[in-house]
Chains A and B, each alone.
Chain A
């Protein structure tokens, strides 16, 4: 029985990680082939750093993901705090359902409807083109927002409501009480929301594809457009780098988490 469960785990691991391992190995391939390994070389990493258009699309993707996740975290937290204070239950439930719509809605419908709206508003203002970085940012904030709210609302519900009340009793203004008492309590929810928003925005293709304007191309779109010719191993090198950066970030955040857990239990 034990060996069976071990084999099962091993199989799951292989299915999960074999694609990444293959990608990693072929990023060091000497030849252009994506199927035949003909020797070790760092050539594709060198080529990657010379490819200004790809690097620009990486930069674009990061700028977009960072700004979208930060703005949607701020807006989402504010929305969650507001929703939490609502006394009217029916209104609260309606609001929660409405904010969930962008999350349940298929990406392609969100993308097309956003594009149509941007074109409509753009024409209203008489602009020659209506899609640009701004529209893409709005689109990304739109689909990130519900995930942030979903992370922050339960934290607010779990929180001891007498904490901010006590702070205000002791003379804090409501705003100060929020920053001193509420915010530290819901911080884990906010951070998870931020990370979720960041990763969602980072690898979104469909919505970006419909709302992208002139010249501002993100990495997923650039890779998709390489299919007339073939995807070069440069992209393998890039994916490998991204994988390791994310792995390191994950490890760091996990160590911080376990550290604070220890401190928490020590209290």
Chain B
């Protein structure tokens, strides 16, 4: 009897091992997409369910079934760690600019075949040849956005608004929110002082730290996504965040709060772009998916869902999209696409040497501890 039971147990364990080994060999086509959380139109509030739409469209066009495995990540670093462990394989990923540069230099991305992505023609010229992918080999831009200052007009005097000085204004002590991550927080001081955010010269970072230390007594707290609640409820009056997220806050602001927004000069830019990692199992299918994401209906739905600006001309030139968002929103989201490239290549963050990143983190810790 005992032998019998042990035999069954051994069999179960062997089966479990076989399950381990037999993965990745599925019969139906699957596409593994790895994107930021809440970063695709998902069918809520009568929007388009992009993933479902792709599966249907693919079946109608190619008479073959495809199953999309959609997963999300919370930061570029999380995504990078998961991919470089070699334990998972994704077909389409959506990293930010500096991470694309890093992954390309580490041979973690595959060059795209643009014959399969004809819709790339709609991407505005300003978004081609940016520093992270100078030869347009690896990436198709998905969204871009800029950092700005959000303030509550019921508390803040209009005359004080404009420029980075507002988040250093002593009048609003205890009402100011600052980024809770080193790169973004330092950048606010560097832009204010006219320093280079990608400087490899340690002394300019010390200068920025001194400026942040001056600001520290005025800061209510250092936040990331907690900023939504604090601004919407009027708990804080001034915050620094992305333009797209300002509109999310605007939708939910309390009655006695009147949120406004402006861009200080200069400011930070980011681009998130679709790429194919080197562990991709079905490159052609991945390219078809990227092409689908650039086509009219899904591209507009995603731009409306994320509230971030789209580099895709079929989106920002679309009359329905402009009407849905309204003139004021469009004006804030798309301030001068012609100058984008030059400003982006000057002011956006680049990947830095590990030595510098360590140094920045040490400075950041001294600020947070005091």
Q: Is the CB of B38 within 8 A of A229?
A: yes
A92, CB-defined interface residue at 8 Å: no
Question: What CA separation (Å) do A32 and B250 show in the bound complex?
Answer: 10
Residues of A within 8 A of B281 (CB): 128
Give the interface centre of B1, B44, B51 by most chain A CB atoms within 10 Å.
B44
Q: Is the CB of A229 within 8 A of B87?
A: no
Residues of B within 8 A of A127 (CB): 20-24
Q: Which of B18-48 contact A (CB under 8 A)?
A: 19-24, 30, 32, 36-39, 42-45
Q: Is the CB of B24 within 8 A of A129?
A: yes
Q: Which of A127-155 contact B (CB under 8 A)?
A: 127-132, 134-135, 138
| Known A33-B253, A227-B224; contact A131-B88, beta-carbon cutoff 8 A | yes
Question: What CA separation (Å) do A107 and B24 show in the bound complex?
Answer: 27
A78, CB-defined interface residue at 8 Å: yes
| Known A127-B20, A134-B23; contact A228-B39, beta-carbon cutoff 8 A | yes
A257, CB-defined interface residue at 8 Å: no
CB distance from B305 to the nearest CB of A (A): 10
Q: Is the CB of A222 within 8 A of B37?
A: yes
The residue of chain A having its C-beta at the shortest distance from the C-beta of B19 within the complex is A134
A15, CB-defined interface residue at 8 Å: no
Residues of B within 8 A of A222 (CB): 37, 72
Q: Is the CB of A118 within 8 A of B87?
A: yes
The residue of chain B having its C-beta at the shortest distance from the C-beta of A129 within the complex is B89
Residues of A within 8 A of B10 (CB): none
Q: Is the CB of A213 within 8 A of B87?
A: yes
Residues of A within 8 A of B89 (CB): 128-129, 214
Residues of B within 8 A of A230 (CB): 38, 225, 228, 245, 248
Residues of B within 8 A of A34 (CB): 228-229, 232, 252
Q: Is the CB of B37 within 8 A of A225?
A: yes
Q: Is the CB of B20 within 8 A of A134?
A: yes
CB distance from B233 to the nearest CB of A (A): 4
Q: Is the CB of B69 within 8 A of A214?
A: yes
CB distance from A219 to the nearest CB of B (A): 12
B71, CB-defined interface residue at 8 Å: yes
Question: What CA separation (Å) do A214 and B73 show in the bound complex?
Answer: 12
Residues of A within 8 A of B69 (CB): 214-216
Contact of A138 among B16, B24, B71, B88 (CB under 8 A): B16
Q: Is the CB of A217 within 8 A of B72?
A: yes
B74, CB-defined interface residue at 8 Å: yes
| Known A52-B52, A134-B16, A222-B72; contact A213-B23, beta-carbon cutoff 8 A | yes
Question: What CA separation (Å) do A53 and B1 show in the bound complex?
Answer: 46
Question: What CA separation (Å) do A122 and B36 show in the bound complex?
Answer: 27
The residue of chain B having its C-beta at the shortest distance from the C-beta of A178 within the complex is B1
B136, CB-defined interface residue at 8 Å: no
Contact of A215 among B32, B45, B235, B306 (CB under 8 A): B32
B205, CB-defined interface residue at 8 Å: no
Question: What CA separation (Å) do A227 and B36 show in the bound complex?
Answer: 9
Question: What CA separation (Å) do A127 and B225 show in the bound complex?
Answer: 38
| Known A33-B254, A213-B87; contact A128-B24, beta-carbon cutoff 8 A | yes
Q: Which of A33-72 contact B (CB under 8 A)?
A: 33-36, 38, 47, 50-53
Contact of B88 among A31, A123, A174, A214 (CB under 8 A): A214
Question: What CA separation (Å) do A132 and B73 show in the bound complex?
Answer: 17
Q: Is the CB of A228 within 8 A of B74?
A: yes
Q: Is the CB of B74 within 8 A of A224?
A: yes
CB distance from B150 to the nearest CB of A (A): 14
A90, CB-defined interface residue at 8 Å: no
Residues of A within 8 A of B39 (CB): 228-229
B184, CB-defined interface residue at 8 Å: no
Residues of B within 8 A of A228 (CB): 36-39, 74-75, 225
Contact of A50 among B23, B43, B85, B233 (CB under 8 A): B43
CB distance from B59 to the nearest CB of A (A): 17
B112, CB-defined interface residue at 8 Å: no
Interface string of A230-266 (1 = CB under 8 A from B): 1110100000000000000000000000000000000
Q: Is the CB of B88 within 8 A of A213?
A: yes
Q: Is the CB of A130 within 8 A of B1?
A: no
Q: Is the CB of A32 within 8 A of B252?
A: yes
Residues of B within 8 A of A234 (CB): 44
Residues of B within 8 A of A231 (CB): 225
Q: Could you list 7 further interchain pairs (A-B, Cβ under 8 angstroms) beyond the known A214-B32, A214-B90, A228-B74?
A: A35-B232, A51-B44, A127-B23, A129-B89, A131-B88, A134-B19, A230-B225
Could you show 16 A-B contacts with beta carbons less than 8 Å apart?
A: A33-B252, A35-B254, A38-B255, A121-B21, A127-B20, A127-B24, A129-B87, A129-B89, A130-B23, A213-B23, A215-B30, A224-B74, A225-B36, A228-B37, A228-B225, A234-B44
List residues of A whose CB falls within 8 A of some B CB. Answer: 31-36, 38, 47, 50-53, 75, 78, 115, 118-119, 121-123, 125, 127-132, 134-135, 138, 173-175, 212-217, 221-222, 224-232, 234
* A-B residue pairs, 7 tightest by C-beta: A215-B69, A225-B37, A125-B21, A33-B252, A134-B19, A35-B233, A229-B38
